[in-house]
Homo-oligomer: A and B are copies of this chain.
Amino acid sequence: MKKNAKEAIVKAAITLFNSNGYSGTSIREIAHAANVNTATIAYHFNNKTGLLEYCFMHFFEQYTRKMEAAYASIDRGAKECLKRVVSDLLHYQCENYQLASFIYREMSMDSQVVREIMSTYSLKEKYYFQKIFERGFEWHEFRPHSIPYLIIQLKGLIMMPFMNSNYMREVLYVFPNEPFFEQKYLKDLHLWIDKTLCSDIPIKKGAVLK
């Protein structure tokens, strides 16, 4: 029973935070939507900040684990590895699109929680991206380029559909929670890797042209 209450609270919080914003949502509204009383929320999460922290940790723990697992395939080549990272992260966001959408919006705020998340999870993510890009340059798979600028582009492409879910739905009629979207958009992300990252690679000195 207790576990169900906790899950119901998290689910209600994600939905409400996503549509009304974190500051625009009260503990009372979450309690009402989860069908529990406010004392139950206090028991599990202390207060609204505790609930927010739980959502962040929940999202980024899994996110980082996906990234680590995909990075393990680096020896098959940087391009293959990056394609797997992109595919796994896209899938994870599609599966959790409400949570992703709310977390990304909240990450744009300048708060204590956000600073803590950035100094752990975002730095870890950067570390893995950096490793993959460095390997790609070293093995002449990727065109040499500034790593931060590559991360901006790749993260922009990966996050866009979830940072703007209303726009996607109401203006473009594209639905990021449908399997069709994931398949189609993954091709675009892979195309960016093939065309923007892997084309025009300078010829290695001393290499034998085939």
Interface residue ranges, A against B (CB under 8 Å): 19-24, 101, 104-105, 107-110, 114-115, 118-119, 122-123, 126, 146, 148-149, 151-153, 155-157, 159-161, 163-168, 170-174, 184-185, 188, 191-192, 195-196, 199
Set of chain B residues within 8 Å of A163, measured between Cβ atoms:
104, 108, 159, 163
What are 6 residue pairs bridging A and B, where the CB atoms are less than 8 Å apart in the complex? A20-B109, A21-B21, A23-B23, A108-B166, A122-B170, A195-B199
Residue of B nearest to A185 (CB): B149
With contact pairs A114-B166, A156-B159, A164-B107 given, residues A171 and B126 touching in the complex (Cβ less than 8 Å)? yes
With contact pairs A108-B164, A163-B163 given, residues A185 and B21 touching in the complex (Cβ less than 8 Å)? no
Residue of B nearest to A184 (CB): B149
Set of chain B residues within 8 Å of A195, measured between Cβ atoms:
195-196, 199
Set of chain B residues within 8 Å of A20, measured between Cβ atoms:
109-110
Set of chain B residues within 8 Å of A23, measured between Cβ atoms:
21-24
A64 to chain B, nearest CB (A): 14
Set of chain B residues within 8 Å of A173, measured between Cβ atoms:
148
Complex Cα–Cα for A140 and B137 (A): 33
Complex Cα–Cα for A19 and B112 (A): 12
Complex Cα–Cα for A196 and B199 (A): 10
Set of chain B residues within 8 Å of A24, measured between Cβ atoms:
23, 109
Which of B115, B126, B171 contacts A118, CB < 8 Å?
A: B171
